[in-house]
Amino acid sequence: MNNDTTTIDWRPPAAPADALFGSGATRAERALALGAGAIGTAIVISAAIMTVGDRWWVIHYVLVAIVALDVLGGVVANALSSAKRDHHGPPADPSSRSGRISRSPALFTALHVQPIIVAVVVPPHSWWWGVLWYAVMLLAVVVVVRVPQYLARPASYAIAMLVVVSLPFVPAPEGLAWLPLALVLKLVMAHAVREEPYRPAVQA
């Protein structure tokens, strides 16, 4: 693997704060996160149209599309090295409220109430399913941030694996089976785990 064109750089960049992609994100990083989110959302909505059909109203499709874009795009956005630097390195702006939230994995996760919202609003209104996975996400993030640093990444993979094998035992509402694992990827693996921020030698 050729690492000649990248470097590890924890220094806050001379760039505006960016709560979505991290300060100093390159065009390629932004495009990757936005593209993955858009394609993932298109797949989720297409699958729902084929399987759920008119059992959802238009407002349900709109809500699920918004949640999918946020969560699926957020999987990639939180994994960007620019975001890793913002979330786990020296703060570019210590007074930034959004920065303080993103630097606290438990608080950041607590604000992600999407599973509860969609479970309550979208038929068949399985509120317990949303509450269950919301609680699982919070517990998982607490575990990852409390284990020794060298165990954080494998612990996040262990949690993702356990969620995958548990999904068949927790029937999901139609059209929402993708959400628990996507939340694990976004909040536990991508956001909570501290990893080195690799940056291009020449900023694009």
pLDDT score recorded for residue 113: 97
Under the banding of pLDDT at 50, 70 and 90, the label for residue 20 is very high
186 vs 30: CA distance, rounded Å: 16
* Region 58-85 average pLDDT: 97
- Tens digit of each residue's pLDDT (9 = 90 or more) over 33-56: 999 999 999 999 999 999 999 999
Radius of gyration of the chain (CA): 18
Domain boundaries, the chain: 10-200
- Tens digit of each residue's pLDDT (9 = 90 or more) over 135-172: 999 999 999 999 999 999 999 999 999 999 999 999 99
Residues 6+ apart with CB under 8 A from 149: 194
Encoded tokens for 5: 């064109």
96 vs 168: CA distance, rounded Å: 41
- Peptide bond connecting 154 to the previous residue in cis, omega within 30 degrees of 0: no
pLDDT score recorded for residue 100: 83
Residues 6+ apart with CB under 8 A from 99: 17, 19, 86, 91, 92, 93
